[in-house]
Structure 1
Amino acid sequence: MTVRDRLLAVVVAVLWGANFIAIHVGLAHFQPIFLAGLRMLVLAVPTVLLVPRPRVPLRWLLGYGLGFGTLQFLFLFLGMYAGMPTGLASLVLQASGPFTLVLGALLLREHVTARQWAGIGVAVAGLATIALARAQSAALLPVVLTLLGALGWAAGNLSSRLAQRDGADVDPLHLTLWMTVVPPVPLLAVSALVEGPGAWAAVGAMFSGPGLPGLGALVYLSLVATVLAAGIWTGLMRRYPAGLVAPHSLLVPVVGMSLAMVLLGERPSATELVAGAVVVGGVLVASAPARRRVPVPV
């Protein structure tokens, strides 16, 4: 990768890490399920009007939207609303990497190397340590909800992969944008049932002085974190092997936890910090590309 593209990958990691601060701000102004649906609705309307639909099987587009766009953000937002620390949420969500490998092995019969299984084991051990530490303080539910969000992300990853495999000349950015068309209906329907129609009142309030931070958070979640950051990332993934680009995403929890400490005053325990380093290390090992064997001259 060129120096410019490495810097772009770091910029994306910073934008995605700051995404968790935006979620924290947004949840102070909106109900969690409603915010998840509204975020996608803001993108879905212009997508349907302006972006050509990618030629992929409908089942994989629905799977991508339900996994990545619906379940991930439904459980992540509920977890943070229930008390999951912002920085810790950015870390625990990295479980999507190991989850993707396991689901790929179970459902798609993809080959997982011994080294990748070892990395998964290390990451799971780190996550279990965090869960145990949280359980002792009666704060296990937010961790479980965030892990369910990571599982939804993993399911979306598989659907996205299958969509690009079975589709014709798929533009990854168009696929990502059309994914946002799926979540608004189920999310807003669940919001109406659980949170009530009063959740829509926050939309009008966000244009007033006290509501402007909520508007800023919504703009950041929809346009910056999704369109801008995903657009840059997609371009990098098209120009370089995944093994060169993907490890930069491990900077996301570093940025997320650092910003949460500086801006929100969060102070993770020593156990959580050590376990977090273990999780990141395990994900790095599990996601690293297999080494090619160099033929030995005879």
Structure 2
Amino acid sequence: MPFTHVLLALAVVLVWGTNFVVIRWGLDELPPFLLATLRFALSALPWMLFMPRPAVCWSRLIAFGMLLGVGQFALLFLAMRSSISPGMASLVIQMQVFFTIGLALLIWRESLRVYQVMGLLLAVGGLGVIASHLNAAVTGVGVLIVLAAAFSWACANLVAKSVGRVNMLHFVVWSSAFAVPPLFALSWWLEGAPTVMLGVLQQTSPAVWATVVWQAVGNTLFGYGVWNWLLSRHSAAQVTPMALLVPVFGMSASALALGEALQPWKLQAAALVLAGLAVIVLWPKLTQPRPVKAVVKG
């Protein structure tokens, strides 16, 4: 890739990784389901007024919005409220790669390769390290909730794959609208009636409102827009390995901004999970035969 495109990819990964700290700041004043409601409301409006609906059936738009909004982010926000640290959340959520592979095996009967098994075993080893060091900052419940969020993300990936080649930014914007009603209902049921929500919002500081806007504009519009723009111009093997840096940025940002301690066991768990992801993503690229250049004799 050209150097400028590499910088764009790094910018997206930086935004996605550091967003776990931004989420933590938002959760300091807003309950998780209300925060998720606001995030997806601002991801849909006013952008739907300027972006045409993609050529996708309504059922897939609804499914993607529900899986991404309610399944992934609502559960992630719930876990990060008090059950898992931002750095660990950014690492555990990457298990979506392995869930995606497993679901593809079941649904599309794709064959399981040896390198995929190796990568999965490494990642499971990393989860084992986390499970052996549970504490108040990283609880078993928090890990399980984030794993459920990762599974929902994997299901959303399969829905996105099934829609074919469409404008993915438009797809994300329009599908975000369908996440808002169930998220609002959950917030009403579990966090308080609309009058209570209004009172919470009136007391919310401008800094927290900025975190909500950043999640919608930075992560959805900039992140997905640039990422899919890069995928449309380069092979997936060139672009997707950059996503391995998400937990690196996530854990580093959490340590710098929130003072989250990076004990040796956390680094060991991160090394195992990232090694497993690297094997899954990079092995096909590294082992594919290089084309033989013809030698022209004069």
* TM-score, normalised via structure 2 length: 0.91
The CA deviation at 1:106 is 1.2
Number of the residue aligned with 1:193? 189
Deviations 1:41-71 (A, max 9, x none): 1122323322211111222222211222221
The CA deviation at 1:181 is 1.3
Number of the residue aligned with 1:53? 53
Number of the residue aligned with 1:262? 256
1:175 aligned onto 2:155 = no
Aligned partners of 1:295 and 1:115: how far apart in 2? 22
Number of the residue aligned with 1:151? 151
Equivalent residue for 1:217, pick from 211, 216, 219: 211
The CA deviation at 1:296 is 8.9
Q: Aligned partner of 1:248: which letter?
A: M
Q: Aligned partner of 1:236: which letter?
A: L
Aligned partners of 2:292 and 2:14: how far apart in 1? 42
Equivalent residue for 1:204, pick from 202, 205, 214: 202
Conservation of the 8 A alpha-carbon contact between 1:63 and 1:155: no
The CA deviation at 1:129 is 2.0
Aligned partners of 1:135 and 1:87: how far apart in 2? 14
The CA deviation at 1:230 is 1.5
Structure 2: give runs of 5+ residues left out of the alignment. 294-298
Number of the residue aligned with 1:131? 131
Q: Does the residue aligned with 1:134 lie in a helix, a strand or coil?
A: coil
Deviations 1:5-43 (A, max 9, x none): 111111111111111111001001111011011100112
With 38-47 and 197-206 compared, the bigger mean Cα shift is at: 197-206
Measured at CA, do residues 294 and 261 of structure 1 come closer, stay the same or move farther in structure 2, by a change above 3 Å?
closer
Number of the residue aligned with 2:117? 117
Q: Does the residue aligned with 2:132 lie in a helix, a strand or coil?
A: helix
Deviations 1:200-224 (A, max 9, x none): 3232233xxxx11111111111111
Q: Does the residue aligned with 2:259 lie in a helix, a strand or coil?
A: coil
Measured at CA, do residues 152 and 293 of structure 1 come closer, stay the same or move farther in structure 2, by a change above 3 Å?
same
Q: Does the residue aligned with 2:46 lie in a helix, a strand or coil?
A: helix
Aligned partners of 2:247 and 2:67: how far apart in 1? 21
Q: Aligned partner of 2:186: which letter?
A: V
Aligned partners of 1:107 and 1:30: how far apart in 2? 38
Equivalent residue for 1:273, pick from 252, 267, 271: 267
The CA deviation at 1:294 is 5.5
Number of the residue aligned with 1:15? 15
The CA deviation at 1:289 is 5.8
Number of the residue aligned with 2:40? 40
Conservation of the 8 A alpha-carbon contact between 1:44 and 1:181: yes
Aligned partners of 1:41 and 1:276: how far apart in 2? 33
Aligned length: 289
Conservation of the 8 A alpha-carbon contact between 2:84 and 2:138: no
* TM-score, normalised via structure 1 length: 0.91
Deviations 1:135-192 (A, max 9, x none): 698821111111111111111000000012xxxx611111121121111011110110
C-alpha RMSD of the superposition? 2.0
The CA deviation at 1:88 is 1.0
Structure 1: give runs of 5+ residues left out of the alignment. none
1:227 aligned onto 2:221 = yes
